[in-house]
Amino acid sequence: MRGEHGCVRLPDARPASLRPVRAPEFLRSTQASYDTIAEAYAAEHPDSLAGRPLERALLTAFVELVRAPGVPGRPPVADLGSGPGYVTARLHEAGLPVFGVDASPRMVALARRAHPELRFHVGCMTALDLPDETLGGVVALYSIIHVPDDHLPAAFAEFRRVLLPGAPVLLGFQSGDEDGHRRLTERYGREIALDYYWRTPDTVAAHLAEAGLELHARVLREPGPGEKLPRAFLLARRPGPVPREV
């Protein structure tokens, strides 16, 4: 069953055969929180990759993997948790056919305003209403941090389902020596209820393996200015034709 959990259907998705059910609490609270702070967040983060050369280099590696011989044609790429749209825009500038998906309708509206040439849709990564084997790649930078442990397997299972064989996935998330959780109740002077989860690379890699996604590379960097936790990045792919190395 696809298109559950209150997720809005994406263009060209197959017709829903069952009535959508109520969205889970984590999705409702994440959506409401980002709707509340969307303008302030977008103003503070117009392009967070501008001062992060490592993240930009990993995006470049991702682009090369999407273009590898094992992923035929020019299938679209999804930026899941696209926020203000700066990652989506960089992938577009790199020549990829890309669209963004975010749980927050207000954030999607801001992304569309900032990047009118690109497509952004309201949706959630735990139930993507897309046909099987549709995407040439998935990027989720700092978005799985809002997905609870009991919903993360569903998200990665969806990644595998919608990816073409051989297609890559790039994850970025806060990390540490052990897994942890925090609820943020205020930001930018506004009341919110936003859960953050940080996980070790081994924890996330294990979830990827359980979903049938093969780990290609892992990178860990120390906290930068204004950051309290290390950042971890995993490059994985759906099994299939082996892409060339980058």
pLDDT for the residue 129:
83
For residue 110, what pLDDT is reported? 98
| Residue 5 resides in a domain | no
* Residue 21: pLDDT over 50: no
Q: Which pLDDT band, with edges at 50, 70 and 90, does 83 fall under? A: very high
What burial class does residue 22 get, using C-beta atoms within 10 Å of its C-beta: 0-12 exposed, 13-18 middle, 19+ buried?
Answer: exposed
Task: Judge whether 242 lies within some domain.
Answer: no
Percent of the chain with pLDDT over 70: 86
Quote the pLDDT of residue 195: 97
> What is the rounded average pLDDT of the residues 70-86?
88
In the predicted model, is pLDDT for residue 130 greater than 60?
yes
Query: Quick check: 67 and 91 in contact, CB under 8 A?
Result: no
What integer is the mean pLDDT of 167-177? 97
Whether residue 72 lies inside any domain: the answer is: yes
Model confidence over 137-169: pLDDT tens digits? Answer: 999 999 999 999 999 999 999 999 999 999 999
Q: What is the pLDDT of residues 201-239, one digit of tens each?
A: 999 999 999 999 999 999 999 998 889 999 999 999 999
Long-range contact set of residues 98-104: C-beta below 8 Å, sequence gap at least 24: 99/10, 101/10, 101/125, 101/128, 102/34, 103/27, 103/30, 103/31, 103/34, 104/30, 104/31, 104/34, 104/35, 104/38
Structure confidence at residue 241 as a pLDDT band (50, 70, 90): low
* Cβ-proximal residues to 172 (8 Å cutoff; 6+ apart), any chain: 55, 58, 140, 141, 142, 231, 232, 233
Q: Is residue 203 part of a domain?
A: yes
What CATH number is attached to the domain comprising 97?
Answer: 3.40.50.150
Of residues 133 and 21, more confidence is placed in: 133
Whether residue 7 lies inside any domain: the answer is: no
Structural domain boundaries enclosing 136: 25-237
Q: Is the residue at 14 inside a domain? A: no
Is residue 63 a contact partner of residue 96, using CB atoms and an 8 Å limit?
yes
The answer as to whether 53 is a domain residue is yes
Q: How many domains does the chain have?
A: 1
20 domain residue, yes or no: no
Residue whose C-alpha is closest to residue 118's, from 87, 157, 74: 87
pLDDT digits (tens, 9 = 90+) for 33-64: 999 999 999 999 888 888 899 999 999 999 99
Residue 1 has pLDDT above 60, yes or no: no
